[in-house]
Amino acid sequence: MIAPDGRVVMISGANRGIGLAIATNLYSAGFCLSLGARDDTGLKNIIKEWDKSRVLVCRYDALDKESHTAWINSTVSNFGRLDGLVNNAGIWKNFSVFDESGDEEDLDLMWAVNVKSPVSLTKNALPHLRKSGVGRVVNVASLAGKAVFGSEVGYSMTKFALVALSHAIRQGGWDDGVRCTALCPGYVATDLTSSVESMPLEEMTSPHDLAELVKTILCLSNTASVAELVVNCRPDIVA
């Protein structure tokens, strides 16, 4: 696996869960990282032993569009280039059309964080990713972006949309070397699944295994495009 040669990757929601696992893995592999988090002071504390010449921490709030442009601009002015974007930050809220679970505000919030913010970050990042010639976008979607599980459809709708965005990025960016992968995991052992009762955390996919896959995707050459990567911890029908 070759890659680094100074490659710079942005990761949203890098302060915990899957995002932090990806950041830790990519840092060990030698990437330069620009880490986005709502609470950047907390993240600065987590990575205080890391080589600051390879790591930048910026404020990123999915609901504050100005923080998106500011984060991208700071990244490019600090490192002089941008080669990868991992749209990881996301939320789950219960929303069903069959009962009173969730209201429209929950749906709007999931739409804003899980879809509109990756759209905005991608639009801002694309000129730099095209310039890179080996630009990569990894969208952390979900198995719920490949299939609908039960009546809690709100989250699934946003993740289907993120998978659609991923295909559009891959097709539209292709000629300039931009490749995009929709990563679609089932249950992953993080805070997001801590209240799941149907499966113990130790039987769920580890965020570290996902991080290893993200590193591989980022290191692949332009002639090995992975459009979707479905990862599961149980034998669902879809994967």
Ligand X SMILES: NC(=O)c1ccc[n+]([C@@H]2O[C@H](COP(=O)([O-])OP(=O)(O)OC[C@H]3O[C@@H](n4cnc5c(N)ncnc54)[C@H](OP(=O)(O)O)[C@@H]3O)[C@@H](O)[C@H]2O)c1
Catalytic residues: 155
> Among residues 118 and 132, whose Cβ is nearest to ligand X?
118
44 binds ligand X (CB under 6 A): no
Per the structure block, which two tokens stand in for 33? 């990282």
Determine the 3-state secondary structure of 125 from DSSP: helix
Q: x/- binding map, residues 87-116, to ligand X, per CB under 6 A?
A: -xxxx---------------------x---
- What is the distance, to the nearest Å, from the Cα of residue 178 to the centroid of all Cα atoms in its chain? 16
How many positions of this chain bind ligand X (CB under 6 A)?
26
140 binds ligand X (CB under 6 A): yes
> What is the β-pairing status of strands 136-140 and 84-87?
parallel
DSSP 53-107: TSEEEEE--TT-HHHHHHHHHHHHHHHS---EEEE---------SSSSSS-HHHH
Binds ligand X (CB under 6 A): choice among 38, 44, 65, 131: 38
238 binds ligand X (CB under 6 A): no
Binds ligand X (CB under 6 A): choice among 40, 61, 83, 152: 61
> Among residues 59 and 130, whose Cβ is nearest to ligand X?
59
Please work out, in degrees rounded to the nearest 5, the angle formed at the alpha carbon of residue 54 by the alpha carbons of 49 and 60.
90
> Among residues 55 and 134, whose Cβ is nearest to ligand X?
55
HSE of 217, CA atoms in CB hemisphere, 13 A:
30
Identify which range of 22-30, 60-68, 75-83, 129-137 contacts ligand X by CB under 6 A: 60-68
Q: Which of residues 179-208 bind ligand X (CB under 6 A)?
A: 185, 187-188, 190-193
Identify which range of 84-92, 96-104, 121-129, 174-182 contacts ligand X by CB under 6 A: 84-92
Identify the CA nearest to 139 among candidates 154, 119, 124.
119
CB 215 within 8 A of CB 4: no
Positions touching ligand X (CB under 6 A) are: 13, 15-19, 38-39, 60-63, 88-91, 113, 140, 142, 185, 187-188, 190-193
